Structure 1
Amino acid sequence: MDKVQEDWIVKNKELKRLLEIRTLELEKSLKNCQELQEQLLLQEKLASLGQLSAGIAHEIKNPINFINNFSELSIEYVEEIAEELKKLEQNDTITEINELLQDIKANLEKTLQHGKRADGIVKSMLMHSRGGQGEFVPTNLNTLLKEFVNLAFHGMRAGKNPINVSFVWDLDPELGQVAIIAEDFSRVIVNLCNNAFDAMRSKFNSEMDKEEKSSYQPVLKIRTSQDKNKVTIEIEDNGAGIPEPILNRILEPFFTTKKGKEGTGLGLSITHDILKAHNGTLAITSKEGEFTKFEITLPPISSTL
């Protein structure tokens, strides 16, 4: 009888152990399911926000066109008035009017300059928000990089906890046009820049929390180069870096180290998929606490088309 009781006790303990393990597994699965639901909900909200932003950008584009068109027209009027004044007898009054006209022209040119800059930002937003037709089109890669790095930077500056970032540009002037789907590739640039800004913000906040005054300055380096076999883009930040155990997982869908609803874990995964569709590659090198470098390689234009 004692032997039977001992066996039952042993089996009971084993069942309890297995039950505890199974309970922990179920709790973990439930937690993962809840996190996935939250991420999908956030992704849906982001998609809706993207549609709203595209609508706002489209509405802003019309008044910007009026500003640019009337600025150009007013500059022409000022130049015509200045030409007519040259035909008159010159005196102090004419000289003063000419000086005023030059000031007005300078102001109009500055208005036009910033109007065109705003128009460029709006065009970039519209391109980024709408889906492409899946067609590879020869595109000036250097120009595209400048536009969307700038868009990502201003998006970061308009969000929570903005930081100042210095840019180092090392663009190959001989690069020319590369065949890409611009609407998709713009997402690659924005996603990689956003990751870089997050890493630099994290390091900046850590440095600010230290008792000793820090001289840390966030710097983002953008390089392009080419040879007969490939086109290379490098985006390198001097942020917090990526711990080695995490480095092999960051391209997994829904993998994120951000807390709560700050990240979906989809940015780098989508980036990787877009680059694969371009027959490209994405290599990541990083040293924790020092830097992270994203290196994109694309086939030359002749092999992409």
Structure 2
Amino acid sequence: MPAGFVGTPDQTRQARIITNTVLLTSLFSFNFLLLCWWAGFWPGMYLMIFNVVAFLVLPFGFRQGLFSYVTFGYIYLVAGYLGVFLNSVYQGGYFAATTSWLVLCPVSATFLLGRRAGIIFFVVSLLSVVGLWELERRGIHLPSTVPPEHRLFWSLDILGGLMLILLVVSLVFDQINQNTLRQLTENNDLLSLRTSQLEQSLSELRATQAMLVHSEKMASLGELTAGIAHEIQNPMNFVNNFSEVSCELLQELPPTMFTALPAAQQALVQGTLETLGRNLARITRHGQRVDGIVRSMLQHAHTGPRERQLTDLNQLTTEYLNLAYSSLRAKDPAFHAALHTNLAPDLGLANVVAPDIGRVLLNLFNNGLYALQEQRRKQPAGYLPALTVSTHRVGAEVEIRVSDNGCGMPEEVRQKVFQPFFTTKPAGTGTGLGLSLSHDIVVKGHGGRFLVDSQPGQGTEFQLWLPV
């Protein structure tokens, strides 16, 4: 190949095939040169000398960049055609053994340079054969210069050489077909891989887009929640303050204030004051509960950077369990479930982002209660819904375990529960992001572990392991 050869991989392959074919043909030409010398066929020997020299010089000219690989191929084909045709003329014309070699010219042209070159040399070879046949038809017999005693062997050798060349050509074509098929297979595999990667990228892009849309919605919802929470908090502060002041006023009433009244009226007033005291205590207690809910709403609506703080996970678990159950009862008053808590008293404090862990717990409680609802719909008779929450400390980790006796999950669903946008809930009732975000909060945000175990028809258990 020329030092500065520039071309596509197909052009490079084609140039190499032409070069190798020319060198291989020079070996065949040298063989027939020896045959011509042995048979005393001097015109054929001179032609073979010309062909051998031409086929050896042509590759060096191409290597030096004297002509392109296409010109190189055409020069080789023309030289080969002239060698075969002139040998046919010297060996008796139409009936010469070498005339059958003219069939190699269009085959070689197509193989080396493509369809157009093959058509050109097919026409040239066909005209040559027709010309020799026309001479025979008109009674013009070209004499054979091959000595009579060598003609039989000469013909056999010529036909044997033709068969050998056709065998080589067929082997080369077979090798090319195999290489082409292998290349096509590799390209198809690469294309399939790229298609799969593109489909995966498209799926991830769509998921990211959906997450961005969801994040925007959640951000808007957070702002709305923060506004509502502030609006609720202001009047609730008045309710809490005045209820506490009213309780203090009742307690400050002197015992002898109503002694002047008749006994019946004193009993009535005393009962009324006790009832007011109990009612004010209930108002204060529930007002404090509403205040805690409002604080949780504000924490959830907070979009700034989260800071870790020492948190009582037992208290956090209890608050969000009650919040989840109360929210569900508000939607479905007929629903009842047994809530079992086994909270370790020596759990201690954990350094976590409390709002984030609260969001995880709220999501787990909501999912567990939803599973209990679904199981109750499937077997209403004799079914007792139960949600169990337990905490305990193991070394430098705290475990929060949430289990239910709901409908459970098959294995193929369990393996996908942490994938974004995967949900088994009906359309419009779930985004499929709850467990995915919870997994990210626990594993990526806190360096913990998030495990799940489930049996269809028996229930599901989630385990949160958080480093303290």
TM bracket, shorter-chain basis: 0.7 to 0.9
Distance 1:246 1:27, change over 3 A: same
Aligned to 2:414: 247
Aligned to 2:125: none
AA partner of residue 186 (structure 1): G
Give, in angstroms, the shift of residue 33 of structure 1.
8.3
Structure 2 gap segments, 5+ residues each: 1-187, 189-195
Give, in angstroms, the shift of residue 188 of structure 1.
0.6
Aligned to 2:253, what secondary structure does the other structure show? helix
Contact 1:219 1:237 in 2 (8 A): yes
1:64-79 superposed matches below 5 A: 64-79=236-251
Greater Cα shift, 124-133 or 184-193:
124-133
Answer with 1 or 2: which has the greater Rg: 2
Contact 1:225 1:232 in 2 (8 A): yes
Residue 379 of structure 2, aligned match among 190, 203, 207: 207
Contact 1:36 1:254 in 2 (8 A): no
Residue by residue over 1:244-303, the C-alpha shift from the partner in whole angstroms, topping out at 9 and shown as x without a partner, is 112111111122222323222111111111112112111101111111000111113xxx
- Partner Cα separation in structure 2 for residue 161 and residue 252 of structure 1: 32
Contact 1:124 1:147 in 2 (8 A): no
2:223 maps to 1:51: yes
1:129-278 superposed matches below 5 A: 129-131=301-303, 133-159=305-331, 163-208=335-380, 214-276=381-443, 277-278=445-446
Paired-residue identity, %: 39
AA partner of residue 133 (structure 1): P
Give, in angstroms, the shift of residue 44 of structure 1.
4.0
More helix by share: 2
Residue by residue over 1:207-250, the C-alpha shift from the partner in whole angstroms, topping out at 9 and shown as x without a partner, is 24xxxxx1112211110111323211001111110111121111
2:284 maps to 1:112: yes
Aligned to 1:126: 298
Aligned to 1:285: 453
Give, in angstroms, the shift of residue 156 of structure 1.
2.8
AA partner of residue 165 (structure 1): A
AA partner of residue 220 (structure 1): L
- Partner Cα separation in structure 1 for residue 205 and residue 430 of structure 2: 16
Give, in angstroms, the shift of residue 106 of structure 1.
1.6
- Partner Cα separation in structure 1 for residue 430 and residue 333 of structure 2: 15
Give, in angstroms, the shift of residue 45 of structure 1.
3.5
Aligned to 1:289, what secondary structure does the other structure show? coil
Aligned to 1:56, what secondary structure does the other structure show? helix
Give, in angstroms, the shift of residue 30 of structure 1.
9.3
Structure 1 gap segments, 5+ residues each: 1-17, 19-24, 209-213, 301-305
- Partner Cα separation in structure 2 for residue 161 and residue 260 of structure 1: 23
Aligned to 1:259, what secondary structure does the other structure show? coil
- Partner Cα separation in structure 2 for residue 63 and residue 288 of structure 1: 47
Contact 1:132 1:184 in 2 (8 A): no
Q: Give the TM-score, by structure 1 length.
A: 0.78
Aligned to 1:295: 463
AA partner of residue 153 (structure 1): Y
Distance 1:42 1:136, change over 3 A: closer
Distance 1:161 1:109, change over 3 A: closer
Give, in angstroms, the shift of residue 184 of structure 1.
1.1
Distance 1:261 1:34, change over 3 A: farther
Greater Cα shift, 42-51 or 134-143:
42-51
Greater Cα shift, 123-132 or 272-281:
123-132
Give, in angstroms, the shift of residue 186 of structure 1.
1.1
Count how many residue pairs are aligned between Structure 1 and Structure 2.
Answer: 272
Structure with larger RCO (C-alpha < 8 A, sep 6+): 1
Contact 1:230 1:298 in 2 (8 A): yes
Q: Give the TM-score, by structure 2 length.
A: 0.52
AA partner of residue 454 (structure 2): S
Distance 1:268 1:27, change over 3 A: closer
Contact 1:38 1:261 in 2 (8 A): no
Give, in angstroms, the shift of residue 147 of structure 1.
1.1
Distance 1:278 1:31, change over 3 A: closer
Contact 1:199 1:241 in 2 (8 A): yes
More strand by share: 1
Give, in angstroms, the shift of residue 159 of structure 1.
4.4
Give, in angstroms, the shift of residue 110 of structure 1.
1.7
